[in-house]
């Protein structure tokens, strides 16, 4: 692309970008609605039950039918991955790296078609969809750069005599399972899979049924780049398939991205028979503190983009806002006015910022949260309704919503995954910081302040893995490989290493100390 797209890109005011995307929206329609098999060792298995995925934009649009993996399929995929893993490791890191760079080039060239499919599949607007593809390309290139910088993670050690050679070698665990979510269906399937593959693990990928098309596209591109069939397998299916894969005796490591309850269940149970690395990247209830010294226009833009981007369906979405009392009324007035300006509609259309939520369950969560605000004595300040007019009646659309609610309401603590943000006044930054940390989560957090002392205290005190100060492009959202490592503390993550950061590849490797005496 002539214009580099990241999640911090503020507008699509680029004729070349818009023309290319809009052409792809028409071109990819012929690729929708097809049957897709479970992919085991390069074989597509379609003689299975199918899941039908429809678009949240318009439920009359069939995205695809996905064969639902049986336990035999998963056994076969894991066995094939296990059998091929020694050969894949023996390729050497340079050859694996070069393949990833080839895949990155292929994906980059297909950016607009992939983005258009993403928009249809999960309802992302054009910038969010282009960002999802561009991030996956960046994962491929960044992890290739990381393994090069670390010389394949081989480190010479000291010796006790001239005849002795000692070296630390980081080696793959073996077979790695990746369970990916719907909301970043390419980046969160491709990112962890790339990390596992480039370090010499083979991968069995289980995507969400909602978002499976992008995982299959990732497999296609990797195959076109030269990835052998035994290195990557895709087992489409529901929760039972994911549970069976995660607990498979011959899986040696797991990356899961999804909800806190499921992530914690896997974290507790996967290691019952033997120790295995379990990287569970879970949810967030991400706070923003706005102090009296803040630029309120900047803060409003950051909150709007953080709360309503991808219709609030990001684990990093801004969901709690604590504003110092002297500027509370002014901030709320500005936030409500800005929310009223947001365009909601078909996300493939230019100028649309908020598209649909993913399914009926999301609409039910939205309606339940709005009802809770009213029942608890709170106030809906903006939005609050389901949109059922015109073409939007064909999909899953709700209004971007701002509320004020009592602090004991569950809307302050429950991750909602809808375009919904709660705001309240606090006496000072310290109270806002304390309320921010009063949660089981610790994924992302934001601050708006012009006071260096406040900023230093906030950075030192906030319990979150990904933090931002004065970021209009997204108060709590928008991490980018090699720019912001993305990972959570507390109940938001188990690995302690953020995706797209300098320590991420380490989790896919285990150390072997080698001593040779001649």
Catalytic residues: 281, 315
C-alpha separations of 437 from 187, 313, 320 in Å: 28, 21, 11
Name the strand (E) or helix (H) holding 62: strand 62-67
Non-local (6+) Cβ contacts of 484 within 8 A are: 466, 468, 478, 498, 500, 501
Please count the helices (runs of H) and the strands (runs of E) in the chain: 14, 24
Rounded distance between C-alpha atoms, residue 254 and residue 247, angstroms: 9
What's the token pair of residue 124?
Answer: 């992302």
Rounded distance between C-alpha atoms, residue 292 and residue 326, angstroms: 6
What's the token pair of residue 243?
Answer: 């549970």
Rounded distance between C-alpha atoms, residue 13 and residue 21, angstroms: 12
The DSSP result for 429-474, as a single string, is HHHHHHHHHSSSEESEEEEE-S-HHHHHHHHHH---SEEEES-TT-
Q: How many CB atoms lie within 10 A of CB 157?
A: 12
The DSSP result for 265-296, as a single string, is HHHHHTTSSS---EEEE----EEEEE-TTS-H
Rounded distance between C-alpha atoms, residue 107 and residue 470, angstroms: 33
Q: How many CB atoms lie within 10 A of CB 336?
A: 15
What's the token pair of residue 96?
Answer: 């694996």
* CB-side neighbour CA atoms (13 Å) of 359: 9
What's the token pair of residue 304?
Answer: 């709007």
Helices 93-109 and 126-149: angle between axes, nearest 10 degrees? 160
Rounded distance between C-alpha atoms, residue 398 and residue 222, angstroms: 37
Name the strand (E) or helix (H) holding 217: helix 212-224
Non-local (6+) Cβ contacts of 258 within 8 A are: 179, 181, 282
User: Of 152, 140, 135, 138, nearest to 102 (Cα)?
Assistant: 140
Q: Are 114 and 21 in contact (CB under 8 A)?
A: no
Count of residues in the chain: 518
Q: Are 266 and 280 in contact (CB under 8 A)?
A: yes
């Amino acid at each position: 692309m002539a214009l580099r797209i990241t999640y911090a890109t503020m507008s699509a005011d680029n004729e070349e970008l818009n023309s290319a995307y809009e052409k792809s929206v028409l071109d990819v329609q012929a690729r929708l609605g097809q049957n897709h098999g479970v992919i085991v060792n390069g074989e597509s298995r379609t003689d299975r039950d199918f899941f039908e995925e429809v678009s949240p934009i318009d439920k009359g649009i069939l995205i695809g039918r996905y064969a639902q993996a049986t336990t035999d399929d998963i056994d076969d995929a894991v066995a094939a991955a296990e059998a091929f893993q020694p050969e894949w490791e023996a390729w050497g890191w340079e050859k694996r790296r070069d393949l990833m760079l080839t895949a990155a080039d292929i994906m980059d060239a297909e950016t607009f078609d992939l983005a258009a499919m993403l928009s249809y599949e999960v309802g992302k607007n054009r910038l969010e969809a282009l960002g999802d593809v561009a991030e996956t390309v960046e994962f491929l290139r960044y992890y290739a750069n990381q393994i090069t910088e670390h010389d394949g993670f081989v480190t010479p050690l000291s010796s006790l005599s001239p005849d002795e050679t000692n070296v630390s070698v980081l080696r793959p665990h073996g077979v790695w399972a990746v369970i990916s979510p719907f909301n970043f269906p390419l980046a969160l399937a491709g990112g962890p899979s790339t990390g596992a593959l480039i370090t010499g693990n083979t991968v069995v990928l289980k995507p969400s049924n909602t978002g499976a098309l992008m995982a299959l596209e990732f497999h296609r591109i990797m195959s076109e780049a030269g990835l052998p069939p035994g290195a990557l397998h895709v087992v489409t299916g529901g929760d039972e398939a994911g549970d069976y894969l995660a607990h498979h005796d011959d899986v040696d490591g797991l990356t899961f991205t999804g909800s806190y309850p499921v992530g914690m269940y896997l974290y507790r149970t996967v290691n019952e028979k033997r120790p295995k690395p379990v990287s569970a990247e879970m949810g967030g209830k991400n706070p923003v503190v706005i102090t009296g010294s803040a630029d309120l226009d900047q803060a409003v833009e950051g909150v709007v983009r953080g709360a309503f981007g991808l219709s609030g369906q990001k684990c990093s979405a801004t969901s709690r806002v604590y504003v110092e009392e002297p500027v509370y009324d002014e901030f709320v007035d500005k936030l409500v006015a800005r929310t009223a300006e947001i365009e909601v509609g078909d996300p493939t259309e230019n100028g649309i910022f908020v598209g649909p939520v993913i399914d009926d369950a999301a609409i039910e969560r939205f309606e339940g949260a709005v009802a809770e605000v009213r029942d608890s004595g709170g106030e809906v300040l903006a939005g609050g309704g389901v949109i059922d007019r015109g073409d939007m009646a064909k999909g899953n659309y709700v209004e971007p919503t701002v509320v004020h609610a009592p602090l004991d309401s569950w809307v302050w603590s429950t991750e909602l995954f809808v375009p919904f943000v709660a705001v309240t006044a606090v006496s000072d930054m310290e109270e806002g910081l304390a309320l921010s940390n009063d949660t089981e989560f610790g994924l992302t957090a934001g601050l708006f302040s012009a006071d260096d002392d406040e900023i230093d205290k906030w950075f030192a005190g906030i319990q979150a893995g990904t933090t931002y100060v004065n970021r209009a492009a997204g108060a709590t959202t928008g991490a980018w490989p090699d720019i912001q490592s993305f990972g959570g503390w507390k109940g938001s993550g188990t690995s302690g290493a953020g995706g797209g950061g300098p320590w991420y590849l380490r989790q896919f490797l285990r150390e072997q100390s080698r001593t040779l005496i001649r």
